């Protein structure tokens, strides 16, 4: 296999380790996605609470005090789960799970592959490049006068 300038594998790292680190990387990327969904949940919950407060104000202005009171009393400012607003869920996930997983992943990658990321993916890219195919360069084309930017139009 030609590496096309994508050889990231440190000396002495075997195929099984590269595969395991690739699986670990996939898991860590999924943790990032889960975290993103939690932040979406958090922002949506905040929007809901503010919008329900606005609806309560509008109901009150329209003369529907009972309906407004119900929203204000039962829903606006309510915990999304017992004892917690959404920001607390995000913080607990970050402190309890996310940071531990990221720290473990980084330490394992450092110990087994000198901290090099995406070895598995780089090798997969090198195997899949078709030199005659469009837009299948191993790395961006650079020109000396482009300031390091891709020189393609």
Burial of 123 (0-12, 13-18, 19+ CB in 10 A): buried
Report if residue 57 sits inside a domain: yes
What does the pLDDT average to over 119-134?
A: 78
CA–CA gap between residue 56 and residue 16 (Å, rounded): 60
Domain residues for the domain of 19 are: 15-126
pTM: 0.75
Structurally, the chain folds into a number of domains equal to 1
CA–CA gap between residue 120 and residue 107 (Å, rounded): 17
pLDDT of residue 127: 83
Report if residue 78 sits inside a domain: yes
Report if residue 9 sits inside a domain: no
CA–CA gap between residue 62 and residue 48 (Å, rounded): 21
Contacts of residue 14, Cβ cutoff 8 Å, sequence gap at least 6: none
Which of 37, 41, 43, 17 has the alpha carbon at shortest distance from 119? 17
Residue of higher predicted confidence among 112 and 1? 112
Report if residue 118 sits inside a domain: yes
What is the per-residue pLDDT across 129-146, written as a single tens digit (0 to 9) for each? Answer: 776 666 666 667 776 665
What is the per-residue pLDDT across 7-57, written as a single tens digit (0 to 9) for each? Answer: 788 889 899 999 999 999 999 999 999 999 999 999 999 999 999 999 999
Q: Which strand (E) or helix (H) includes residue 120? A: helix 119-128
> Residue 44 has which token pair?
């949506």
Residue ranges with strand state E in the chain? none
Of 8-12, 30-34, 62-66, 68-72, minimum mean pLDDT range: 8-12
Cα dihedral: 46, 52, 55, 56 (round 10): -120
Report if residue 140 sits inside a domain: no
> Residue 38 has which token pair?
């939690």
């Amino acid at each position: 296999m030609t590496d096309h300038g994508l050889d990231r594998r440190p000396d002495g790292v075997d195929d099984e380790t590269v595969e395991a680190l690739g699986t670990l990387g996939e898991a860590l990327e999924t943790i990032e996605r889960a975290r993103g969904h939690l932040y979406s949940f958090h922002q949506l919950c905040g929007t809901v609470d503010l919008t329900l407060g606005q609806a309560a104000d509008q109901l009150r202005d329209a003369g529907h005090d009972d309906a407004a009171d119900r929203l204000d009393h039962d829903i606006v400012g309510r915990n999304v789960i017992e004892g917690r607003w959404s920001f607390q869920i995000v913080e607990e996930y970050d402190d309890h799970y996310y940071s531990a997983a990221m720290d473990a992943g980084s330490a394992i990658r450092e110990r087994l592959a000198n901290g090099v990321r995406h070895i598995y993916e780089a090798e997969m890219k090198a195997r899949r490049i078709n030199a005659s195919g469009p837009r299948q360069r191993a790395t961006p084309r650079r020109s000396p006068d482009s300031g390091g930017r891709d020189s393609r139009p």
